[in-house]
Amino acid sequence: MSSTVLFDTPGPRARLRNNALTLLAVIALAALAYFVYVKFDQKGQWQGKIWKPFTEATTWTEFIIPGLLGTLKAAGLGAVCALAFGAVFGLARLSDHRWIRIPAGTVVETFRAIPLLLLIFFLAYLAPSVLGSGDYTLAALVAGLTLYNGSVLAEVVRAGVLAVPKGQSEAAYAIGLRKGGVMRLVLLPQAVTAMMPAIVSQLVVLLKDTALGYIIAYVDLLNYGFKIIPAVFFGSLVPAAIVIGVIYIGLNMALSALATWLEKRSRRSRKTAAGPIAPPGAVGVGAGAGLPEQSTM
């Protein structure tokens, strides 16, 4: 029976208890699903006539696909801008100059503290006052996503760089590299691999946060699903919510799968993946594991 500091392999009684609790949880979830099914059936939500619009091609080409494109457009612009914002301000917080580090930290902490919905509201109603009349819903949504998620990503970048062992930068300085070269050639390539899961998790959050554009009437997937489709096809609110929810789940799963592939690819690359560092006193470990090779002479 193997065990670690954080986990002990369960014995027969523990396995029996875990199996019993799992069975009870499955029964409870099945009962809840049946309860929801019965209540929906009583309200006629499973009738074919209210689901029929989603079997027609025009519903997808005129409503769902345009809404999906609007969501992807806002998410794509927001992701690119947030990554750029996070990279710039994350590295700025690591600067040796106080006149760069302190203002960058103030900006990051300020926009991390403001609720995203409030930020989007503020930008949506401020833009017409400053720039004149027009449709600024997309700009307000992207700007809000950039400022909030970019501030979170800035902390991810800062933490990722600081997580690289200090000896890496010291060795780079010892061979004559300047700080820019140390950051670009040594620290960032190793930090990217460590940051990848956190970055992708935040991008998934950003994708879901695009639904907040519904509040300022941005035409996206949620707006079509909860406002336009039920207005055109009366009584189809619940089916539309289910279909839109499934699409959002598919988008997030696709993004997570892409992140997993990128992480595996980056770990296979010699340029971005640092080799494991062996503990002091390890026997039979070569230079590739972080220790100098021992001379055989």
Using one digit for the tens of pLDDT, what is the confidence trace for 77-134?
999 999 999 999 988 888 888 898 899 999 999 999 889 989 998 888 888 888 777 7
Indicate the average pLDDT of the chain: 81
What's the pLDDT at 28?
96
The CATH architecture annotation of domain 46-271 reads Orthogonal Bundle (1.10)
Position 284 confidence tier, pLDDT thresholds 50, 70, 90: very low
pTM comes to 0.74
Residue ranges per structural domain of the chain: 46-271
The DSSP annotation for the chain comes to --B-SS-B---HHHHHHHHHHHHHHHHHHHHHHHHHHHHHHHTTTT-HHHHGGGGSHHHIIIIIHHHHHHHHHHHHHHHHHHHHHHHHHHHHTT-S-HHHHHHHHHHHHHHHHS-HHHHHHHHHHHHHHHH-SS--HHHHHHHHHHHHHHHHHHHHHHHHHHHS-HHHHHHHHHTT--HHHHIIIIIHHHHHHHHHHHHHHHHHHHHHHGGGGGGGT--SHHHIIIIIHHHHSTT-HHHHHHHHHHHHHHHHHHHHHHHHHHHHHHHH-TTT-PPPPPPTT-SS--GGGTSPPPP--
Using one digit for the tens of pLDDT, what is the confidence trace for 171-191?
877 887 777 777 777 777 877
